[in-house]
Structure 1
Amino acid sequence: MSSKFISHRGTPIHYTDAGRGSAVILLHGFLENSTMWKDYAAELAKSYRVICIDLPGHGKSDCFGYVHSMDEMAAVVKAIADHHHLKRYHIVGHSMGGYVALAFGEKHPDVPKSITLFHSTALADSDEKKVDRSRAIKLVKEQPEAFVKHSLPMLFRSKSRKIYRTEIKGMIAEALKMPVQGIIAALEGMKERPDREVLLHLSPIPFLFITGKRDTVLPFEKIEPQLSAPMVVDRLITENGHMGFIEDRDLCLETLTYFINDIEKAHA
């Protein structure tokens, strides 16, 4: 897996590139980076070209502003794809990465072969959630380390926090490398993103939803109505929390692989 950089708006953006064939672009969530996809990329690269992007302010990518909107992050994805002359590709986004994928799909509806919303949602933040984001921004400014150490374990189902203690510790170590500006810019960008549920009904893009019944970040009762939208052609409902790529690694990977394979067959 090769590590590469591209300059976007004069800012270094990091990504990895592995495998051959139809392209699959993997987008991480908030406080995560491209390393979260290590296992998935290794498996998918056996059949596909897999590009894992560090979104602005995350991983090895620098910040380019004080607000990283989902549209601006989507522009980063397009810039990397265009750099490699990719015309159509699958996009998989975990949490915030799903918001970026939706922004991309709205701007370029004929480009994605598919979009996977991996513990993500097409809905905008509620007023209550926007207030929570503002509180989080205040805490990050005052105590960024405390914010990271508190936030990441809460993404897991309560019983998973002990089972995956080592993985959580590793994620915290990675997140603590982030600049405060990157954390705040992402929170601001998520807070201002619009509702994009219309894409699930009227776009030409087939969607896979992966969601958890015990997701404390995106409650299942708010996700469930989206699962019956006409362009949601496949779905996986797990019994765990927001971190299915760890809590239900094999099941989620299998579902994602079958979904992409089916879409590829349809395009053959």
Structure 2
Amino acid sequence: MWQAQAAALRARGHTVITPDQRGFGRTPLGTAPPSLDTVADDLAALLDRHRIGSVALAGCSMGGYAAMAFLRRHPHRVRALALLATRAGADRPEEAAERIRFADLLLDDASRDQLVAHTTPLLLGATTRTRHPDLVERVTAMAATAAPESVAWAQCAIAARPDSLSVLCGADVPAVVLAGDEDELVAGDEAATMAEALPRGRLVTIEAAGHLPPLEAPDRVSELLMALVDASATEERNGEGAC
């Protein structure tokens, strides 16, 4: 998901880590109950293994929820923040119930394939679906190969997350909130609310992008992340900010 941005940042000499969340890629799911706190602590442990103290942290969709959990639990380790296609508010009871239902359907062999085929294209904006059917196929293939137990675990963790607006209010670091103007899953006012809560937040709307801007608008997202990292580095050299 972050290949283009990682390549662009590494080309400028930055160290980039794109971790597999537990249950995905090479990381086993384990036996911990669903919780974004667990995901956040997994990241802290990974940084410890790499002997990295603080980072410019970027998260898209669930990655944004995980980033806010990390900010809540390890605030001193975040020196810049990028939140993409995500929201700070907790699920309403009916939204949480729908996530749990979705998780249950994913674990049902009879419903899984149809559910993935129907819902995955909605992650991409209408323009992407029309102009880039190859990307639709790629994302659908990625979703189809994900372990159902891992996706269900993730949905349950998201459903249980707390409101994070107060966490963002206390994050006095360079920050950018990115929203696709064709995102069908997160409303634009959610992004505006996050940007307003962040003391140094900046809202950027990406045209013709849906819920996965790193894939739909890779160059634009790379540009914005490089600007954020540069701002963080300048601040660090000047001895400013919380880090």
Q: TM-score, normalised by structure 2?
A: 0.89
Q: Which residue of 2 aligns with 1:72?
A: 38
The Cα RMSD (Å) is 1.6
- Asked if the contact 1:200–1:207 (Cα under 8 Å) also holds between the matched residues in 2, the reply is no
Q: Which amino acid aligns with 1:241?
A: G
> Between the two proteins, what is the percent identity of the paired residues?
25
Matches within 5 A, 1:195-214: 195-214=163-182
Q: Which residue of 1 aligns with 2:124?
A: 156
The offset of 1:253, in angstroms, is 1.4
Paired with 1:223 and 1:192, the residues of 2 have a C-alpha distance of 20
The offset of 1:44, in angstroms, is 0.6
- Aligned pair count reads 233
Matches within 5 A, 1:1-268: 36-46=1-11, 47-65=13-31, 67-142=33-108, 143-239=111-207, 240-268=209-237
Greater strand fraction, Structure 1 or Structure 2: 1
The offset of 1:141, in angstroms, is 2.0
Q: C-alpha offsets along residues 188-217 of structure 1, whole Å, 9 cap, x if unaligned?
A: 000001011112212333321011232111
Paired with 1:175 and 1:66, the residues of 2 have a C-alpha distance of 23
Q: Which residue of 2 aligns with 1:9?
A: none
Matched residue of 1:58: which SS? coil
The offset of 1:183, in angstroms, is 1.1
Matched residue of 2:117: which SS? helix
233-242 vs 108-117, which deviates more?
233-242
The offset of 1:113, in angstroms, is 0.8
Paired with 2:62 and 2:220, the residues of 1 have a C-alpha distance of 21
Q: Which residue of 1 aligns with 2:240?
A: none
Q: C-alpha offsets along residues 34-91 of structure 1, whole Å, 9 cap, x if unaligned?
A: xx11111111112200111110112222111374311101111111100011111111
- Runs of 5+ in structure 1 lacking a partner? 1-35
Q: TM-score, normalised by structure 1?
A: 0.82
The offset of 1:244, in angstroms, is 1.2
Matched residue of 2:16: which SS? strand
- Runs of 5+ in structure 2 lacking a partner? 238-243
Paired with 2:5 and 2:46, the residues of 1 have a C-alpha distance of 20
